[in-house]
Amino acid sequence: MLTRALQEAGAPAVWSEWCTDDPVCPESRRGLGSPTILVNGEDVAPGPHPWAPRQKGEGPRSRPYMDGDLVVGVPPAALVSAAILRALEPDVV
């Protein structure tokens, strides 16, 4: 789904993946549920999130998403595509 969204936006299909229990994982990424997709550091499905905050030392946590009235296991493709397209817009000052 991520590859398709990037291709449809005309962006290269390149991204970084982090394992949140890996010591090299940035601290800012450690509290995120899986899967979480960030575009330019912004969550494609910003909160409120349907889970309690993680406590230090807890293991990985699955992350549910809402797609209309359905609870799904990945961010809806429309949210991912919209975030990518926003990121590709020129900065207007």
- The per-residue pLDDT for 85 is 93
In which element (H, E) is residue 84 found?
helix 77-88
Burial class (CB in 10 A: 0-12, 13-18, 19+), 38: middle
Alpha-carbon span 86 to 20, nearest angstrom: 26
**For the whole model, what pTM was predicted?**
0.77
CB contact set of 49 (below 8 Å; sequence gap of 6+): 33, 63
Is 64 part of a structural domain of the chain? yes
Structural domain boundaries, residue 24: 2-88
Fill in the DSSP letter of residue 28: G
Is 24 part of a structural domain of the chain? yes
Tally of structural domains, the chain: 1
- The per-residue pLDDT for 56 is 64
Is 60 part of a structural domain of the chain? yes
- The per-residue pLDDT for 51 is 53
Alpha-carbon span 47 to 68, nearest angstrom: 15
Is 93 part of a structural domain of the chain? no
- The per-residue pLDDT for 52 is 53
Alpha-carbon span 36 to 65, nearest angstrom: 10
Residue 31 · residue 17 · CB < 8 Å: no
Residues of the chain with pLDDT under 70: 48-60, 92-93
